[in-house]
Amino acid sequence: MVNNYIDYDKLFNFSVKNKLPMVRQSTIAECGLACLTMISIFHGHNVDLRSMRLRFSIDSRGVSLSTLMDMCHSMGFSSRPVKLDLVNMKELKRPCILHWDLNHFVVLSKVTRNFIVVNDPARGVVKLSFNEVSKHFTGIALELTKAESFIVFNEKKKVKVFDVLGKVRGLGKSFFTVLCISFLLELFSVVNPFYMQWIIDQVIVSADRTLLTLLSLIFFSIAIINPILNSFRDWCITRISSLIHIQWTQNVVTHLFKLPMVWFETRSVGDVTSRIGSVGSIKDIITSNILSSILDGFMSLIMIVVMFFYSVKMTLSMVVFIFIYWFLRVFFIKKIQKQKEAVLESKAIQDSEIIETVRGILTIKVTGIVRERLSRYINKSVENSNKELIYYRTGIFFSMLSHLLFGICNIFIIWYGTYVTINNEFTAGALIAFLSFSNMLGGRASSFIDKIIDLKLITVYSERISDITLTSPIIKNKDNIMMSSINENSVVLKNITFGYNNKIVFNDLSLDVKAGSSIAIVGPSGCGKTTLAKIILGLFKPQKGMVLFGGVNIDELDNDDYHSAIGAVMQDDQLFAGSILDNIVLFSNDINIDLVVSVSKAAFIHDDIMSMPMNYHTLVGDMGSSLSGGQKQRVLIARALYRKPRLLIMDEATSHLDIDTEKAINNVISKMNITRLIIAHRYETINMADDIFEIK
């Protein structure tokens, strides 16, 4: 969307220079996009990484310099690639993009005699000496200037928590109950200082034992009721917290499962789990902070009003210190948000590192790189710890500042209050009550300000979750055709064109697979055989052309119903943590044990399973670690056949099997009425197919 609007924030911004923002990449492949986003914002575009992601499609391989130049052009920039030495770096028009480590992009923001500053989408703002730069900089830079046709894009949308996470049902009554109990408890706390005032000013002076007993009984009752109500409130908050977490997590994960396959291929496991974990962080902030901030704010106002009746001067001094603390907290809020964002991203990288290490532990041990991998993980842990220390240091600073400001204020109030008491302008009981109120107000006001700042941190978490929930899911049409209405199992590809980042993988590709026949798809590694299989599976959408199953465009078929009629064994297929039986039936509660045995025999894995201690109930890990490569592949074939597929796609599905076993499995499957697409490199496997289709 193009918009020639008046930006009032910039209209009243008297800074001489535009500020280069720090935009962090969400995936490994987004460094170029993140760099372009930073420079676009610097030059006036109202965009963010999410809106740029919608504008440009980035695959898991990232972008080349030529593709990045095309992207710059579409954003209204003239780009100029420059080859230079370090000594000429100061002559570059900044901000500009530097090619880094042969596979990365960063933004150059500052050059001095001794160092440079870059905005690294992976690491943040980094200051580097020229010796360090020489280890990373490839000598290629990309200068960007506004073209004559430059028009401001206004595509950034403010992320709201409930837009990201959805609404929570069934909270109204519980929240109202908690609010009422909390207000009652707060009133008890406000009344408490009067007890000592009345004892000192009324009871002791008049020696009124009856009043002493009455007051003691009243406050004794409050002392008993207070913890009971407090416990009940805590229980209600715990239930509310649980309800919020369940519904929000369900909303996020449900949306996650609806996302296209391309989304998953550009993100690490650690990053995805970190984003889902942000739901819990938002829940904790909301359940602990919203109610508390409402109460702290309300009670602060009540106490200020009450304190005004005691002394206007002392109350105003307290209010001044509160506003000083408020101003300082608000002034540093952007810095705190950036620190928290850096902590979350470094933690996600650390988690991804350990997940990747565990998955590749066999390779690590075989190649003898345990020390290197351990060192790599420790470095990630240290980096995360350093970012956490910076964040916690800021928290400690403001905690110290709070104690310092309100401590000074308290000393002033004691001095001034004692002074006016000596002059008989104040009673001793009133002074003690006022000091109690001032201490309560200091605690409440600082707590209110801190919680409001914490609530602003929700933006950091919601931005991370928005990468999941604001990504367009696969849309399911209610009028889609069901597979039961299709009688034949033919597969036809008509004029398929597909590519990544303006790089064409297929151009006008056509293929006709007759029902019940088998075809081997062959070609050199990297030519797109697996990509073609994913297009047929409906996981990737071609830019042009269509895929027909039984003469019907698969876009018109019910997505879930279509996939239920397909059996697929892909290169990177996984077994889940559970028994072999669980994996064959995919954890279905409705198990046809006769069919399980039948498909296991067809995959020639039945005898292997029966020789195991627990037969079909033998446990396997989430990576199938207790099975050999050949056994794992045969279990995966049995799993595919258990679905009674009308179409079977096998992508290097028998690469770990010996020729005789592969032939035996092929002979059994060929007698079934299943259309088969076989992707293979092995000559013997290819020859088992009825036909061969070569991708060049």
DSSP summary character for residue 530: H
* Burial class of residue 613 (count of CB atoms within 10 Å of its CB; 0-12, 13-18, 19+): exposed
Q: Are residues 488 and 458 in the same domain?
A: no
Domain that holds residue 528: 483-694
Cα–Cα distance for residue pair 576/14, rounded to 1 Å: 58
Cα–Cα distance for residue pair 35/27, rounded to 1 Å: 13
Which residue from 691, 685, 581, 683 is spatially nearest to 642, judged by alpha carbons? 581
- Could you tell me the CATH number of the domain that includes residue 534? 3.40.50.300
pLDDT at 219 over 90: no
**Which distant-in-sequence residues (6+ apart) come within 8 Å of 123 by Cβ?**
none
Mean model confidence pLDDT for the chain: 84
Q: Are residues 619 and 538 in the same domain?
A: yes
Could you give the percent of the chain with pLDDT greater than 90? 22
Contacts 24+ apart (CB under 8 A), 66-75: 67/32, 67/501, 67/502, 67/503, 68/32, 68/35, 68/36, 68/97, 68/105, 68/142, 69/142, 70/502, 71/32, 71/33, 71/36, 72/36, 72/142, 72/144, 73/147, 75/36, 75/40, 75/45, 75/153
Please answer whether residues 523 and 85 qualify as being in contact, where contact means their C-beta atoms are separated by less than 8 angstroms: no
φ/ψ of 453, rounded to 5, equals -65, -40
157 assigned to some structural domain: no
87 assigned to some structural domain: yes
The pLDDT tens digits for 552-576 are 989 888 888 888 899 999 988 888 8
Question: Taking the C-alpha atoms of 546, 548, 554 and 555 in order, what is their torsion angle to the nearest 10 degrees?
Answer: 30
Q: Are residues 283 and 255 in the same domain?
A: yes
Q: Are residues 371 and 342 in the same domain?
A: yes
Q: Are residues 227 and 375 in the same domain?
A: yes
Read off the pLDDT of each residue in 357-379 and give the average, rounded to a whole number.
85
**Which distant-in-sequence residues (6+ apart) come within 8 Å of 676 by Cβ?**
517, 518, 519, 647, 648, 649, 650, 669, 689
372 assigned to some structural domain: yes
pLDDT at 542 over 50: yes
**Band (637; pLDDT cuts 50, 70, 90):** very high
Residue 11: its pLDDT value, please? 38
Q: Are residues 183 and 69 in the same domain?
A: no
Which residue from 671, 672, 673, 668 is spatially nearest to 654, judged by alpha carbons? 668
Q: Are residues 203 and 134 in the same domain?
A: no
Domain count, the chain: 3
Name the maximum alpha-carbon separation found in the chain: 111
Least confident of 335-344, 583-592, 595-604: 335-344
Q: Which of 444, 469, 494 is the last residue of a domain?
A: 469
Q: Are residues 185 and 325 in the same domain?
A: yes
Cα–Cα distance for residue pair 118/133, rounded to 1 Å: 10
Read off the pLDDT of each residue in 673-695 and give the average, rounded to a whole number.
88
Residue 623: its pLDDT value, please? 59
Read off the pLDDT of each residue in 390-409 and give the average, rounded to a whole number.
90
pLDDT at 7 over 50: no
Which residue from 184, 170, 304 is spatially nearest to 247, judged by alpha carbons? 170
* Structure-token match 């299989």, residue found: 533
Cα–Cα distance for residue pair 635/603, rounded to 1 Å: 7
156 assigned to some structural domain: no
**Band (303; pLDDT cuts 50, 70, 90):** confident
110 assigned to some structural domain: yes
The pLDDT tens digits for 492-508 are 999 999 887 667 888 88
* Structure-token match 């209600």, residue found: 236
Read off the pLDDT of each residue in 448-470 and give the average, rounded to a whole number.
84
3 assigned to some structural domain: no
The pLDDT tens digits for 265-274 are 778 787 888 8
Concatenated DSSP letters of 579-648? EHHHHHHTT-SS--HHHHHHHHHHTT-HHHHHTSTTGGG-EE-TT-TTS-HHHHHHHHHHHHHHT--SEE
Write the CA distances from 88 to 30, 84, 182, 199, integer angstroms. 28, 6, 65, 80
Q: Which of 131, 146, 161 is the last residue of a domain?
A: 146
Q: Quote the pTM value.
A: 0.77
Q: Are residues 409 and 514 in the same domain?
A: no
pLDDT, greater one: 543 or 205? 543
User: CA 501 from chain center: how many Å?
Assistant: 24
**Band (2; pLDDT cuts 50, 70, 90):** very low
Please answer whether residues 315 and 306 qualify as being in contact, where contact means their C-beta atoms are separated by less than 8 angstroms: no
The pLDDT tens digits for 345-366 are 888 888 888 888 887 887 888 8
476 assigned to some structural domain: no
φ/ψ of 142, rounded to 5, equals -130, 110
φ/ψ of 190, rounded to 5, equals -70, -35
Q: Which of 446, 469, 492 is the last residue of a domain?
A: 469
Region class of 34: left (phi > 0), else alpha (psi between -120 and 50), else beta: alpha
Residue 502: its pLDDT value, please? 63
pLDDT at 644 over 70: yes
Read off the pLDDT of each residue in 430-456 and give the average, rounded to a whole number.
84
386 assigned to some structural domain: yes
φ/ψ of 31, rounded to 5, equals -60, -45
Q: What angle do CA 575, 523, 489 make, to 5 degrees?
A: 65
Which residue from 468, 273, 276 is spatially nearest to 355, judged by alpha carbons? 273
Could you give the percent of the chain with pLDDT greater than 70? 96
Catalytic residues: 31
φ/ψ of 460, rounded to 5, equals -60, -45
The pLDDT tens digits for 122-163 are 888 889 999 999 999 999 999 999 988 888 888 777 777 777
**Band (606; pLDDT cuts 50, 70, 90):** very high
The pLDDT tens digits for 473-496 are 877 766 778 888 888 889 999 999
pLDDT at 636 over 90: yes
Residue 14: its pLDDT value, please? 38
Q: Are residues 184 and 134 in the same domain?
A: no
> Helix (H, G, I), strand (E, B), or coil: what is residue 125?
strand
Helix (H) or strand (E) holding 399: helix 370-422
* Structure-token match 């650690």, residue found: 270
Least confident of 11-15, 100-104, 334-338, 538-542: 11-15
Q: Are residues 303 and 266 in the same domain?
A: yes
- Could you tell me the CATH number of the domain that includes residue 272? 1.20.1560.10
Please answer whether residues 442 and 318 qualify as being in contact, where contact means their C-beta atoms are separated by less than 8 angstroms: yes
Q: Are residues 383 and 418 in the same domain?
A: yes
